[in-house]
A = this chain, B = another copy of it.
Amino acid sequence: MQNRGRLLIACADQPGIVAAIAGFLFQSGANIVHSDQHSTDPWGGTFFLRTDFEMPNLPARAPELEREFQGRVADRFAMRWRLSLAARRKRLAIFVSREDHCLQELLWQQRSGDLIADITVVVSNHRRLQPVAERWGVPFQHVPVTPETRAEAERRERELLEGHVDAIVLARYMQILSEEFVAGWRERIINIHHSFLPAFVGAKPYQQAHDRGVKLIGATAHYVTEHLDQGPIIEQDVERVDHRCDVEDLKRIGRQIERVVLARAVRWHVEDRVLVHGNKTVVFA
């Protein structure tokens, strides 16, 4: 993966974009491995593209390539864009509270090679999952949070993370982050909500689902914004339940869905497959 790059682009749709990008990459000696594109509307919509390519000596050539792409292509189409190097694995902080299923899943997938990223730290407002992190050899940071100390706790978290971490995964972290904190990690905090949003926003969604007598329960992975449970949805899935399931059964089944949905969303994020468009996502899965 040493010479593998990913070009991520968003701009107003207009004729000639693909020709310009493809021409640039070809002339630069890049070999396109895979490419996905999407237009919200070919006339006046937004165009999104993700291109996987190989280029000899890419890490050394990347700065020059970026300069040239800016000048020859990006400026012309007023693109938001970035070049991501596969060789530079994303570094993740995982925030947890008391439940370990999402954490275990991410740690296991990371070790097995299914999740290509570094998990650099586990942060928790409880000590309960410290042994889990340590069993897998990942540093654990205990940052208690109370309503009174939240600002101080977030200051400490920022110190721990800034410059060391590329994205934060809220793996059943039961504290609400402040608007200021979230603003510093825009489109880089992924949360798992234990319901099929927007069906059961707020607290105790499995209890809510049980009370309403639904026949499917689900989970939703989304980017965190300042609006609770309202950020862009990355992935959702459901499982069938029936009248025999009590709330504990729903929670047990829910844990399985949460694990799968969060791990999928995190994998897509670290592989640069998720582009945000307003309050939605384009996922080139």
Contacts and interface: CB of A to CB of B under 8 A. Distances in A.
Interface stretch (A31-39, A82-90, A141-149): A31-39
- Interface SS majority for chain A: mixed
Interface range, A side:
35 or more
Contacts of A283: 215, 242-243
A8 B212 CA distance: 23
A118 interface: no
A177 interface: no
Contact of A196 (B18, B196, B280): B196
Contacts of A25: 19
Interface string A195-209: 011111000000000
A30 B135 CA distance: 45
B34 A26 contact: no
A244 interface: yes
Interface string A33-49: 11111110011000000
A9 interface: no
A22 interface: yes
B218 A232 contact: no
Nearest to A208: B198
A232 B212 CA distance: 8
**Residue from the set A29, A112, A255 with the largest chain B CB neighbour count within 10 Å:** A112
B238 A216 contact: yes
Contact of A243 (B15, B100, B114, B281): B281
A122 B285 CA distance: 37
A33 B32 CA distance: 20
A238 B238 contact: yes
Contact of A23 (B22, B54, B213): B22
A165 interface: no
Contact of A233 (B37, B212, B232, B256): B212
A37 B38 contact: no
A234 to B, nearest CB: 8
Interface of A: 15-16, 18-19, 21-23, 25-26, 29-39, 42-43, 54, 100-101, 104, 108, 112, 114, 135, 196-200, 212-216, 218, 232-238, 242-244, 252, 255-256, 260, 277, 279-283, 285
